[in-house]
Amino acid sequence: MAVTRAGFVTFIRDVMGIGQAYLPDASPSIDYSLLVAKSIVLANLNLVSSIIYDLAVYNLAGDTLINYAHDISATIATITWSTGIATVTTTTAHGFLGGDPIVIAAQSPTGYNSPPEKSFQISVTSSTVFTYALVNDPGTQTMPGTASEIYFQTLRAKWNIYGFVSGIISSSNDESTGQSLVTPEKMKNLTMANLQNLKTPYGRQYMAFIESYGPIWGVS
């Protein structure tokens, strides 16, 4: 086996379960994530196992992808309201799917925009038109905005990607309960990058691979 872009795309689709609707094959985030992973995973791991090396690279690249991939967005050309439904026409094909949660932003009147921390579930009419339920009429459009998926934004929130973690929890207590975890010495030596890797299942799998082969691979 050998690390390839095609192999990483297969990993994204079949292992991570991310479809083209959320991350097109041509996305530069794929190339960037793979390049970062290949620069970090020591090539000498190939001497132990080419399969383990490939999987270490793909898992680290998947972790990087979750951290940095952009959600698909489209520029709104027109937006209108009628009987509780807002109809959006985009300047180019939007690529959204029916049922997708979409954030509408920078639109005027602002009544068309998504409420803070919320999204609209859409129905797709055509490659450039979608609709969403909106109770009140915001009025005639005066300035176009954008429509964006929140697939990666949701994953980053789920795994607290942007939250600061300074170390591994060894104990936790309140008035009625308490718990304590044994922290191995190797966990105390993790870098900031390693702590970030631990937030996603792909980063943890990468850490498991390199930890299995001793300090020469980066974790002791």
Residue type, position 204, single letter = R
Which top CATH class is 73-149?
Answer: mainly beta
Distances, alpha carbon 38 to alpha carbons 53, 134, 183, in Å: 10, 46, 29
Mean pLDDT of 16-33: 96
What mean pLDDT value characterizes the chain?
Answer: 89
- For residue 217, what pLDDT is reported? 47
Q: How confident is residue 47, by pLDDT bands cut at 50, 70 and 90?
A: confident
Q: Is the pTM of this model over 0.85?
A: no
Distances, alpha carbon 94 to alpha carbons 130, 145, 146, 184, 217, in Å: 9, 13, 10, 48, 43
- For residue 179, what pLDDT is reported? 56
At residue 180, does pLDDT exceed 80? no
At residue 105, does pLDDT exceed 60? yes
Domains of the chain, by residue range, sit at 5-70+182-217, 73-149
